[in-house]
Amino acid sequence: MDRELQQLMESGASAAQARAALSRYKDVMEAAERLFSEDQAEGEQAESHQTQPKAYADRVDDVEMPGDDDEGVLDDDEGSDVFNYDSDDDGGVTGNTGGSKLNDPYAGIFFSKERREDVIEVEEEPVFVSIPGIDIELELMTQGKWMAGCPEVGEQTFLFTLYSQLNLDGTCPCPSGCGHTVKRQPSDFFAIYRKFSTYIEQLQKIVPQKCAKCRTEFCFACGDKITQEVSDPLWHCANLQGAILGVGLFMIERLFERQKEDLQSKDVTEREAKRRKTRDSDDIDSSGGSKKSKGGVGYAGDQKEDISGQAEASRLQLAKDEKIKSLLAEVRVYIPSLQRSGGARPSDYLPHPSSLTHLRRRFNLIAGELLRNDSLADMSERYGLYFELLEWLETISSHESLCSMMPMPIMKNIGQENIVKKSNSSTIRERKITYEGSASPRELLEAIALQAQAALKGLESSKPQEDPSPELSEEQKRKAVIDVKGKSKESPLAGSSMDEAAKLSTFCHRLLATTSQIDRSLRELKGNDFVTRMHASLPKSSTTRSDDAYIEAGDTEEEAKKAYLKWSIFEYCDLTVSGLNDSDETPNYKHFYNNEVRMLANASIPKRSVAIAKELAILTTNLPVAWDSSIFLRVDDTRVDVIKCLITGPEGTPYHNGCFLFDIFLGANYNQSPPSVKYMTTNGGKYRFNPNLYADGKVCLSLLGTWNGPGWVPFKSTLLQVLISIQSMILCEEPYLNEPGWASSAGTPQSKAYSANVRRMVVRTAMLDALKTPPEPFEETIKIHFRLKARTIQKQLDEWLREDDGRQLASDGAEYSGIGRTIAGSGSSNGLQADINAMKKLLQEL
């Protein structure tokens, strides 16, 4: 078989063509004769179908047609975001021009995320048909619906050709030449049934035809003679495969869109009800008379978050997911696959080009919506749907004709304009739809893969140290997941008795296996250089350091801003303290919660492990990093429940550019209970920077249970929510208002005096002391922060000095709630000038 395959390839056939021919014709000579005669016939047929549908004929498109000699290669110097997704440095497609054309219909087409296309689509009225044996009228998939969402001229040609052949041409002649014909009806291939399985049953009845004259058996889709007995007539030709995928994906897309619309409608109704309830409670007090005063931003009040509907919402979501998953599983059977159970069919080797077209424009949009979820925790809870999605991605990436779509940007509908054209006899309604390139399936998958890696590290680090579980090889992990295939239509996790940790681990390994499969297939098809360039454009984990040990600040603020986004905000590190002679082997940590950490050294709490793993997944890719304010995390490499956090003060606040340190411990009851958080930037327990940040390190926040208000929701709330609440609601523009009793004092002299005092504390402790003696493990982070922002911070310090009210620095700004004594000369003897001078000197040294 290998020798015969090589003979056909040496004759000019591609690998896929050769395998398909040998599977149909056992003799190599007959296979070669049939292969090249069919190739020539297909070329002539393609020339005869160059007519474009009128609705699309006048559109100008700069996309090169499949098979063009010009590869459309764009120099890398022209922009990192503009990328030729089909340049094969290593000659990724084997064979002659004809072979490349059939192997990869998108060879030579230029795709870019910067690309934008306008397409005119005719808005058709729904057409319904009656079918014998069906008790209701069925909607017909018109030509407009069949071709909707297609911005590529080449793809339009594929779709129009197949639709015309199965519908508009009207008749199917007997291949024996006896003159008998069978009339095709539009409903034969393009009726939209309630169930996909009913559509398949109808096709199985009408596809095998027998000539009334000569009794020749032939295929109703392609018109060719059926020369050998097949168990399922739907595998006879590529035309059928293209039609089935087109109709099936349309049904999936419609179900998905309807469920999304239902969800959006429900959200609008709930938000409106919540607004009415809030408005009523604001206007009327408990006695029904007077109007309540506003509570400010000081976490005042005793509101409790209503979470009674969450369980019901989750149940409804899973029910909707099950419908989409089941339909996806039914349609997936007809995706071209060389690993099909029972052996690949001829149409699997040489699929109709419209099959890839349908997958790119319909499935890609659905996959894009699901992968933009960007939450591993949510995906693992909805494992049934997402396992099926991964099955689709693996099946597509494993086929050399389909794999190209994985790194191609998804052309997404970003807006439309309705056009009405009136004439004396009719009104034509059109839509001008604008499509724009967005992230590819592989790029969207990368963000989730990074979370999966972090979650697995969390699960492994949370195991007791004495647990000697052997590490499985990548092949063993993959086999453990794949072995389940074929035994049940359910996903490996559905109905399983596995605990939550095992389910999360299985899902993460499955997702990473799919990512590896896509990359492996692209490497085989496109070459190493292509995959290397693709990886360079993918999103990076916040644990990834810059390649340069020294990050250049540049000559302008704009250059510094770009550099600021290139360094790591999330890192694993060693937080243990060395050199202590303890009687036991349990390590100590340079951490406020050291004693609590040591007590849980060998604890095995599965629910806590899962919660921590999901938390790490979120933090790895979602921490905010920005020029204005960032959150930096350092997590112990072996104890991922031990965390240190550094938050830089937001712009427009008296905390701007200060460095504020927090010690965080995910305790024994996490996530049933909130994390333990201690504020460490207190100047040795002397300074209270905010009504919610005490000098002893207490953080008052309703999420942490240390203040009234909407609190922690077990297994829903996250550490990221706590950190962002501290960054945005505590380190705020007017911290004076965070005291409930002062919530209505915005803009008052007392509030201004409080902010001025905060600025003095920030310069002395969160800037000057932080830069002189950086707290571990943020020494490098703090130095980079101040070095990149040195020019900006010097201007900021000058502004703060001009705004200073001249009062003495107080350890608690509440002392300024009354009238204080102002010293003549702004900042002349309260130490601010000296602190600023010292800070500027250090910035110059940086």
Q: Report the distance separating Cα 6 and Cα 550, nearest Å.
A: 53
Q: Give the CA angle between residues 812, 814, 815 to the nearest 5°.
A: 80
Q: Report the distance separating Cα 713 and Cα 674, nearest Å.
A: 8
517: CB partners within 8 A, 6+ apart: 394, 397, 398
Q: Please check the confidence at residue 710 and state whether its pLDDT lies above 80.
A: no
Mode of pairing for the β-strands spanning 576-577 and 570-573: unpaired
- pLDDT-derived band at 688, boundaries 50, 70, 90: very high
Q: Please check the confidence at residue 794 and state whether its pLDDT lies above 50.
A: yes
Pick the catalytic residue: 172, 211, 700, 732? 700
Phi, psi of 183 (to 5 degrees): -80, 130
The per-residue pLDDT for 200 is 94
Name which of 1-15, 109-123, 228-242, 685-699 the model is least confident about.
1-15
Q: Could you tell me how many helices (H) and strands (E) the chain has, helices first?
A: 29, 17
Q: Please check the confidence at residue 76 and state whether its pLDDT lies above 50.
A: no
Residue that wins the pLDDT comparison between 473 and 97:
473
Q: Are 594 and 588 contacting, i.e. CB atoms less than 8 angstroms apart?
A: yes
pLDDT digits (tens, 9 = 90+) for 562-573: 888 877 788 999
**Average pLDDT in the chain:** 78
Name which of 47-51, 180-184, 258-262, 334-338 the model is least confident about.
47-51
Q: Please check the confidence at residue 819 and state whether its pLDDT lies above 50.
A: no
The per-residue pLDDT for 548 is 42
Q: Please check the confidence at residue 182 and state whether its pLDDT lies above 70.
A: yes
Q: Please check the confidence at residue 495 and state whether its pLDDT lies above 60.
A: no
Q: Report the distance separating Cα 38 and Cα 20, nearest Å.
A: 12
Name which of 39-53, 613-627, 682-696 the model is least confident about.
39-53
The per-residue pLDDT for 721 is 92
Q: Which residue type does 193 have?
A: Y
Tell me if residue 649 falls in helix, strand or coil: strand
Name which of 100-109, 177-186, 451-460 the model is least confident about.
100-109
**The tokens of 760 are what?**
């003095």
700 is catalytic: yes
The per-residue pLDDT for 673 is 92
pLDDT digits (tens, 9 = 90+) for 282-337: 444 444 444 444 343 433 334 445 555 667 777 888 889 999 999 999 999 999 99
Q: Report the distance separating Cα 315 and Cα 199, nearest Å.
A: 30
Average pLDDT over residues 417-425: 76
Cα 357 from chain centroid (whole Å): 22
The beta strands (E) that lie in 549-593 are given as: 570-573, 576-577, 588-589
Q: In whole angstroms, how far apart are CA 589 and each of 462, 477, 601, 646?
A: 16, 34, 11, 17
Q: Please check the confidence at residue 85 and state whether its pLDDT lies above 60.
A: no
The per-residue pLDDT for 78 is 35
Q: Report the distance separating Cα 502 and Cα 507, nearest Å.
A: 9
Name which of 230-244, 577-591, 648-662, 687-701 the model is least confident about.
577-591
pLDDT digits (tens, 9 = 90+) for 52-67: 333 333 332 333 333 3
- pLDDT-derived band at 37, boundaries 50, 70, 90: low
Of 168, 188, 187, 169, nearest in space to 129 by CA:
187
Q: Please check the confidence at residue 641 and state whether its pLDDT lies above 50.
A: yes
Tell me if residue 27 falls in helix, strand or coil: coil
Residue that wins the pLDDT comparison between 651 and 558:
651
- pLDDT-derived band at 707, boundaries 50, 70, 90: confident
List the beta bridge partners of residue 387. none
Q: In whole angstroms, how far apart are CA 621 and each of 173, 520, 541, 575?
A: 59, 24, 6, 22
Q: Please check the confidence at residue 646 and state whether its pLDDT lies above 90.
A: yes
Q: Please check the confidence at residue 493 and state whether its pLDDT lies above 60.
A: no
Average pLDDT over residues 647-658: 96
Tell me if residue 675 falls in helix, strand or coil: coil
The beta strands (E) that lie in 673-748 are given as: 676-679
- pLDDT-derived band at 377, boundaries 50, 70, 90: confident
Q: Please check the confidence at residue 472 and state whether its pLDDT lies above 60.
A: no
Q: Please check the confidence at residue 732 and state whether its pLDDT lies above 90.
A: yes
The per-residue pLDDT for 6 is 64
The structure tokens 């920030």 sit at 762
**The tokens of 67 are what?**
């098979």
- Say what the pTM is: 0.75
Of 593, 566, 751, nearest in space to 663 by CA:
593
Q: Report the distance separating Cα 386 and Cα 379, nearest Å.
A: 6
Average pLDDT over residues 410-415: 87
CA torsion 450-451-456-461 (nearest 10°) is 100
Mode of pairing for the β-strands spanning 631-636 and 570-573: parallel
Phi, psi of 664 (to 5 degrees): -130, 135
Residue that wins the pLDDT comparison between 597 and 52:
597
Mode of pairing for the β-strands spanning 659-665 and 676-679: antiparallel
Q: Please check the confidence at residue 468 and state whether its pLDDT lies above 70.
A: no
The per-residue pLDDT for 307 is 54
Q: In whole angstroms, how far apart are CA 31 and each of 23, 339, 349?
A: 9, 22, 14
The per-residue pLDDT for 490 is 44
The per-residue pLDDT for 812 is 81
Q: Report the distance separating Cα 612 and Cα 640, nearest Å.
A: 8
Average pLDDT over residues 39-56: 38
The per-residue pLDDT for 289 is 46
Q: Report the distance separating Cα 258 and Cα 250, nearest Å.
A: 12
Q: Report the distance separating Cα 430 and Cα 2, nearest Å.
A: 54
pLDDT digits (tens, 9 = 90+) for 208-224: 999 989 999 898 988 88
Q: Please check the confidence at residue 578 and state whether its pLDDT lies above 80.
A: no
The per-residue pLDDT for 77 is 36
Q: Are 444 and 368 contacting, i.e. CB atoms less than 8 angstroms apart?
A: yes
Provide the b/e sequence for 702-719 (b: ≥16 CB within 10 Å).
bbbebbbbebbeebebbb
User: Percentage of the chain surpassing pLDDT 70?
Assistant: 71
Q: Are 42 and 158 contacting, i.e. CB atoms less than 8 angstroms apart?
A: no
Q: Give the CA angle between residues 343, 347, 352 to the nearest 5°.
A: 150
Name which of 85-99, 301-315, 391-405 the model is least confident about.
85-99
User: Percentage of the chain surpassing pLDDT 90?
Assistant: 36
Average pLDDT over residues 432-452: 91
- pLDDT-derived band at 499, boundaries 50, 70, 90: confident
The structure tokens 């997704």 sit at 85
Q: Give the CA angle between residues 664, 669, 674 to the nearest 5°.
A: 50
Q: Report the distance separating Cα 416 and Cα 409, nearest Å.
A: 20
Residue that wins the pLDDT comparison between 145 and 229:
145
The per-residue pLDDT for 476 is 53
Q: Report the distance separating Cα 356 and Cα 715, nearest Å.
A: 41
Average pLDDT over residues 822-835: 64
The per-residue pLDDT for 133 is 82
The per-residue pLDDT for 695 is 93
The per-residue pLDDT for 298 is 38
**The tokens of 334 are what?**
């007809």
Q: Are 663 and 636 contacting, i.e. CB atoms less than 8 angstroms apart?
A: no
